[in-house]
Chains A and B, each alone.
Chain A
Amino acid sequence: MTVMIEVTDLNKRFTLHNQGGVSYPVLTDVSFDVNAGECVVLDGRSGSGKSTLLRSLYANYKPQSGQLHVRHQGELTDLVTATPRQILNIRRQTLGYVSQFLRVIPRVSTLEVVMEPLRALGVDRETCREKASGLLRQLNIPKTLWHLAPSTFSGGEQQRVNIARGFVVNYPILLLDEPTASLDADNCAVVVSLIQQARERGAAIVGIFHDAGLRDQLADRRIPLTSPAKEEAA
């Protein structure tokens, strides 16, 4: 079994300097591992730090202390101390992150949006187009929309475009922040099968799913999270 993610004593606190310097901890001494081919689900009520942990795993948030090792090209690299250049390289090749929100860029077509992560790896346009088209078709995005920029699409359509974008590269590690929220049953089933396929090819997956049935279906293991600050307040 290959360890793909190794989190050790991770601490993340937010300090709001412009709101009276309020400071509250969200993650306190969080430690866990994720192996290749394993789907781990983060459990906890709203505000318990699930998304914060996932964003830290993508180096989008900056933890105060602890280590966040991910296996990149065979080596464990600590995202807390990695340089921006290293992180961008790790994201390009190793780390996929899918949220329910698409960041729309004016004038860029849906097909291009989905192809982009694969293009960034230097894959030729034709291969990228094929893979992207396949995913868009699977996710029921009508072909008439492929050449339009997704800015005018419905929320559900944008979300599915974003999922296609997240699955276009076979990342060794996938971070999923409620990818199925507000999708209908058919599309939800497509996403579940994409996740299962990723797991079967050996990806390490960390996910947040609000639907209890989905959690039961996908979780090999659960990691409970409780935010100390929120607990105190309650």
Chain B
Amino acid sequence: MTNAAMAMTEEGLAEPLLKVNDLRKLYAPGKGVDGVDFELWPGEVLGIVGESGSGKTTLLQCLSGMLTPDSGQIEYTGKQGDKLDIYDITESQRRLLLRTDWGIVHQHPRDGLRMGVSAGANIGERLMAIGERHYGTLRSTGEAWLREVEIDTARIDDLPRTFSGGMQQRLQIARNLVTQPRLVFMDEPTGGLDVSVQARLLDMLRNLVVDLGLSVVLVTHDLAVARLLSHRLMVMRGGKVVEQGLTDQILDDPQHPYSQLLVSSVLTP
């Protein structure tokens, strides 16, 4: 049985991985995150959609420990069932989480990669951070992950800047998944890629999410991407969640005026 299938059938036994309570981070009225609550369950992919400026990225930054919120709690359930309040733990505990249990895939690969070191070193970094020192292991894990994200292993010693945009994005994903995180935050992972490259990346992400049983918080403005990857959607506007529910229900039968506008504004080729 795959991890995802297990996570899903353990309904009732499992508890949420992430509990977010009344989270606020406002730059100005209606700008930022204005009181958001939700739970994320193991194996679940939550899509956050909304127009630019609706607070999606601010929310993701608060969730992933990159931006301290004004108020509210984020409770994370660790591997041993321990409860961690993300902004109540020490900076070093938070950094450890970010290197082990969590992954962050940025929209621009250069924000998530070290451009000055080789592809192999990019993949090995998180492993070294948790104590792996054996060169052979680092090398073979690097090669395995390059294969996993469909990059020619002969490129292992090349710098990411010699890679195409799509390859850089796949390398960023490999770099994050190498420590087998439980929770991955993704900010527009397919933004800025042309459609053929997008399709390949999406297919890869879809399989990885299922095979590794990942929980994902995915920010996107692309509703097709949201439909393909996420189980559940939250529609944001002006820092608030205006509607949330099953992905296909929100896309096929949106209730809130803003969700209706969002869905009806998409061009279908």
A interface list, Cβ under 8 A from B? 15-18, 55, 59-62, 84-89, 92, 105-108, 119-122
Contacts and interface: CB of A to CB of B under 8 A. Distances in A.
Name which of B9, B231, B253 has the most chain A CB atoms within 10 A of its CB. B253
A89 B11 CA distance: 9
A86 B257 CA distance: 26
B253 A62 contact: yes
B246 A59 contact: yes
B246 A17 contact: no
A18 B257 contact: yes
Contacts of A107: 199-200, 203
Given A16-B260, A84-B231, 18 more contacts: A17-B260, A18-B264, A55-B252, A60-B249, A61-B253, A62-B245, A62-B255, A84-B232, A84-B246, A85-B231, A85-B232, A86-B11, A89-B9, A89-B11, A105-B203, A105-B228, A122-B1, A122-B9
Contacts of A16: 260
Interface residue SS majority, chain A? loop
B8 interface: yes
B202 interface: yes
A72 to B, nearest CB: 11
Interface of B: 1-2, 4-6, 8-9, 11, 41, 44, 199-200, 202-203, 206, 228, 231-232, 245-246, 248-249, 252-253, 255-257, 260-261, 264
User: Chain B contact residues: over half helix, strand or loop, or mixed?
Assistant: helix
A121 B200 CA distance: 25
Contacts of A86: 11
Contacts of A105: 203, 206, 228
27 contacts: A15-B255, A17-B257, A17-B261, A18-B257, A18-B260, A60-B246, A60-B248, A60-B249, A61-B252, A62-B249, A62-B253, A62-B255, A84-B232, A84-B245, A85-B11, A85-B41, A85-B44, A85-B231, A89-B8, A89-B11, A106-B202, A108-B203, A120-B4, A122-B1, A122-B5, A122-B6, A122-B9
B204 to A, nearest CB: 9
A88 B246 contact: yes
Nearest to B256: A17
A88 B1 CA distance: 17
Given A88-B8, A105-B228, A60 B261 contact: no
